Amino acid sequence: MIKMGIVQRLLKAKSILILLFISLFIGNVLAAETPEQIANKGMEYFNKGDYDRAISSFSKAIGLKPGDADIYFSRGNAYQNKGNYDQAILDYTKAIELKPGDGNIYFSRGNVYQNRSDYDLAILDYTKAISLKPGDANIYFSRGNVYQNRGNYDLAILDYTKAIGLKPGDANIYFSRGNAYQNKGNYDLAISDYTRAIELKPNDADLCFSRGNAYQNKGSYDLAISDFSKAMVLNSNNAGIPACRGNAYQNKGDYDRAIADYSKALGLRPGDADIYSSRGNVYQSKGDYDKAIGDFSKAIELKPNVAHPYLGRGNINQGRKDHKRAIADFSKAIEINPANINIYFVRSNAYYQEKEYEKALSDMQKIEELGGKPDAGLMETLKKQCGNKKVNVYLLSK
C-alpha cells in the first residue's frame, strides 16, 4: 500500500509538470506577435521619426513574412527618410517584384532616383507610376521637377499643367511652373503663375522673391523692389533677397540704397564673393574707387576663379593710369574667361599706354579672331608702330 501511494504521488506530480509545460507553451504561442503586428509597431516608430527602430521592426516582420510587398515598401520608406538611398531602392525593387501593379512603389523609387540625381531612372519610374495612377497630380509634379532639373522646360511645363488640372489649389505647382517659364525667359507667364501661387499662399517669401526676380528680368524695377521688400518682411534671414533688391536699386541708379542692401546682405552672408563684387560695381559707379577696389579684392580673395572682379579692379587701375596693375588684372581675367572680347580690348589699351605695341596689337588681332571689331584707328596705329607685321598672339598669362 505504501508503494502504491508513492507511485500515485509520482504520477500526480508528472501530470502537473505536463500541464505546466503545456500552459507555458500555449502562453508563448498566444504571446507571439504576428508579422502584421510587428509591422504596425514599425509604422508607429516610423511616424515618430524613429527610423532605426522602424527598420528593425520591418526587418523582423519580413523574416516572418518574406512575401509581403507592403512591408518591403514600408522599410524602403524608412531607408529613404534616413537618406540610405541604396537600401531604399533594393526594398522598393523587391516590393515591385512582389506587387508590380502598385504605382505608389514606382513613385517612391522614382523619388529616390531623383534625390540621387539619377534623372533618367526617375523619369522611367514616374512614367510607369503615371500609367498605373493617371489621376495622381503628385506624380506629374515630381516628373515635372525632374524635367526642370534637366533643363527640359517644355516637358516640365506640360507635366505641371497636367498636375494643376488635377490639383488646382496647390501653390507649389504654380510656383514650379513659374520657375520653368522664368528659366525659359517667358517672364509674363512666370509672373502670372507666381501671382496665382501668392493668392494661394500670400505669406510665402519665396513666391514674392521669385516674382520679384521675374519683374527685375523684365526691367520692371519698381515692381521688383516691391516684391523683394515684401519678401524681406516675411524672411529677414535670406541674404539673397536684399542682394537682389540691391541689384534693382543699382539698375535704377539709386546707388546709396543699393549699397545699403548689399551691406545688409553681407551682414547675413559675409562670405559671398558675388555680393562684394556687386557692391564694388556700385562704388565704382559712384566714383568711390578705394571702396570699389576693396570690394573687388575681397571678392577675388573669396572666389579667385571669377573674371569680373579682376576686370573691375583693372578698370579702376587703368583709370588711375596704373597700367601695370591693370594689365595684371586683365590678364588674370582673360586666363579665366579667354573668350571675352571686352577684356582683350581694355588690355590692348593698357599695353598701348605702356608702349608695349606688339602686345597691344596681339590683343587687337585676338579680338578679330574671336569675331569682334577692334578699334580701327588704334589698330592702324599699332600696325605702324610694329612695322605692319602680323604679330603672334601672346600667351594669355602675359
**Res. 398: pLDDT tops 60:** no
Instruction: Determine the pLDDT at residue 375.
Output: 82
**Res. 14: pLDDT tops 90:** no
269, with CB counted inside 10 A (0-12, 13-18, 19+), is middle
Closest Cα partner for 262 from 222, 249, 302, 252?
249
**Res. 94: pLDDT tops 60:** yes
Give the whole-angstrom CA distance, residue 195 versus residue 251.
24
How far is Cα of residue 234 from the mean position of the Cα atoms in its chain? 21
CATH superfamily of 33-133: Tetratricopeptide repeat domain (1.25.40.10)
Average pLDDT of span 88-111? 98
pLDDT per residue as tens digits for the range 216-264: 999 999 999 999 999 999 999 999 999 999 999 999 999 999 999 999 9
Quick one: how many helices (H) and strands (E) in the chain? 22, 0
Whole-angstrom CA distances from 58 to 5, 21, 64, 109, 281 are 56, 32, 10, 18, 59
Average pLDDT of span 344-352? 95
Which cell is 52 given?
A: 532605426
What is the DSSP secondary structure assignment for residue 185, as one 8-state letter?
Answer: T
Q: Are residues 244 and 264 in contact, defined by beta-carbon separation less than 8 angstroms?
A: no
Q: Are residues 190 and 178 in contact, defined by beta-carbon separation less than 8 angstroms?
A: yes
Torsion from C-alpha of 72, 74, 77, 81, nearest 10 degrees: -120
Does an H or E element contain 72, and which?
helix 69-82
On the question of a common fold for 33-133 and 319-398, the answer reads yes
Instruction: Determine the pLDDT at residue 388.
Output: 60
Closest Cα partner for 93 from 51, 83, 79, 82?
79
pLDDT per residue as tens digits for the range 167-182: 999 999 999 999 999 9
Q: Are residues 306 and 333 in contact, defined by beta-carbon separation less than 8 angstroms?
A: no
- Indicate the pTM of the whole model: 0.84
pLDDT per residue as tens digits for the range 364-374: 999 999 999 88
In CATH terms, 319-398 corresponds, of 1.20.1580.10, 3.40.50.10860, 1.10.10.1590, 1.25.40.10, to 1.25.40.10
Q: Are residues 42 and 74 in contact, defined by beta-carbon separation less than 8 angstroms?
A: yes
Domain boundaries, the chain: 33-133, 319-398
Q: Are residues 196 and 174 in contact, defined by beta-carbon separation less than 8 angstroms?
A: yes
Q: Are residues 210 and 229 in contact, defined by beta-carbon separation less than 8 angstroms?
A: no
Q: Are residues 47 and 56 in contact, defined by beta-carbon separation less than 8 angstroms?
A: no
pLDDT per residue as tens digits for the range 311-343: 999 999 999 999 999 999 999 999 999 999 999
Report the largest interatomic distance among the alpha carbons of the chain, rounded to a whole angstrom: 144
The vertex-193 CA angle with 223 and 190, nearest 5°, equals: 65
Instruction: Determine the pLDDT at residue 335.
Output: 97
Whole-angstrom CA distances from 144 to 122, 150, 208 are 11, 10, 22
Which distant-in-sequence residues (6+ apart) come within 8 Å of 371 by Cβ?
A: 341
**Res. 5: pLDDT tops 80:** no
Q: Are residues 266 and 276 in contact, defined by beta-carbon separation less than 8 angstroms?
A: yes
Give the whole-angstrom CA distance, residue 343 versus residue 116.
40
Give the whole-angstrom CA distance, residue 294 versus residue 282.
12
Closest Cα partner for 205 from 238, 172, 231?
231
Give the whole-angstrom CA distance, residue 114 versus residue 120.
9
